[in-house]
Amino acid sequence: MKKLRKVNTKQRKKLRKEAQAALERQTAMILDHPTECCVCHTEFKRTKQTVKSWQVTTREDRVRLTCPACWQVINEAMENLNAI
């Protein structure tokens, strides 16, 4: 009897493991986030308001924390670059 479909369980298992490992790395990076803004060095005090308003960016090997004022300046600069 012929199989109705090909099932590549090894490949799916490998992809699932790689995705899980990447998620664990990113989670560990976020848990070790900086305690101040990466631009103006304003201290990050953990409250409901600051958690909702500050921006966290993750790259391959680092986490950046940005206060709302600096984030606005960065967004304006990016818009000016895109407009040119």
3 occurs within a structural domain = no
On whether residue 36 sits in a domain, the answer given is yes
Residue 18 has pLDDT above 90, yes or no: yes
Neighbours of 77 (CB within 10 A): 10
Q: Is residue 4 part of a domain?
A: no
Is the distance from CB of 57 to CB of 64 less than 8 angstroms?
yes
Give how many domains the chain has, as a whole number.
1
Structural domain harbouring 20: 9-83
Count other Cβ atoms within 10 Å, centred on residue 66. Answer: 21
Distance separating alpha carbons of residues 60 and 38, to the nearest angstrom: 17
E strands present in the chain: 55-58, 63-66
Confidence of residue 5 (pLDDT cuts 50, 70, 90): low
- pLDDT tens readout for residues 29-40: 777 777 888 889
Asked if 29 and 58 count as a contact pair (C-beta separation under 8 A), the reply is: yes
Could you tell me the pTM of the whole model? 0.57
In a domain, 77, yes or no: yes
